Amino acid sequence: MKKIKRFGKFDLLLDLKQQGISDIKVLNIIEHIDRSLFIDTNLKEKSNLNVALPIDCGQTISQPLIVAHMTQTLDINKKMRVLEIGTGSGYQSIVLSKLSRFVYTIERHNMLLKKAKNLLQSLEINNVFFKHADGGLGWSDQAPFDRIIVTASAPEIPTKLLSQLVDNGIMVIPVGEDNDNQVLKKIIKKGDSFIVKNIMNVRFVPLLEGKVEY
């Protein structure tokens, strides 16, 4: 019988490097965080695969390559405050927490938010603040933010979020109406104008309005 080779952390890191991830800090963080903690029991053996996987509430934990690209593009340092829209499993939140001063993360599904909050607390992550709300509105009490990351796809760049970014701040967001036509964009705020760059084609769940109580 042919033995199937397990795809381990080493294979994942090699794959990320080959696909353009060069930021050593980002690679180190991915190496040291156990992604299986953020994934359901029946899928844990797939945690090192470079693929998105289903989580509760019909959502997904992003592909490690996309997490790495978005994080690398944000160019974060330890003095920065980061707003994340779409907590999901909390995996991207913990990656951000290792690079920044504070992370403010918003999720519309209360169930996902509570699960991610408990998990990060059990891992003794103390610089992430959680909010159950419609992230499209941002977090005005805590604005402005040095960086904003949106991990769900919007039909267009939400102006409300742009208004919560500092001058020279960076936002990364997938933009596109349907599943097949989304582009990850990097937006840099320069006074009253914005520089927009396309990073890569992506496939995210949609950014939806309102919040879900359960």
Q: Which residues bind ligand SAH (CB under 6 A)?
A: 59-62, 85-86, 88-89, 91-92, 106-109, 112, 134-136, 151-152, 205, 207-208
Which residue in the shown chain puts its C-beta closest to ligand SAH?
88
Q: Report the residue number, 108 or 189, with the smaller CB distance to ligand SAH.
A: 108
Q: Report the residue number, 59 or 164, with the smaller CB distance to ligand SAH.
A: 59
Q: Report the residue number, 80 or 152, with the smaller CB distance to ligand SAH.
A: 152
Pick the catalytic residue from 47, 62, 89, 93: 62
Q: How far is the CB of 107 from ligand SAH (least distance, A)?
A: 5
Q: How far is the CB of 134 from ligand SAH (least distance, A)?
A: 5
122 is catalytic: no
Q: Report the residue number, 50 or 60, with the smaller CB distance to ligand SAH.
A: 60
Q: How far is the CB of 190 from ligand SAH (least distance, A)?
A: 26
Pick from 173, 175, 181, 141: which is nearest to 156 by CA? 175
Q: How far is the CB of 145 from ligand SAH (least distance, A)?
A: 15
- Please list the active-site residues: 62
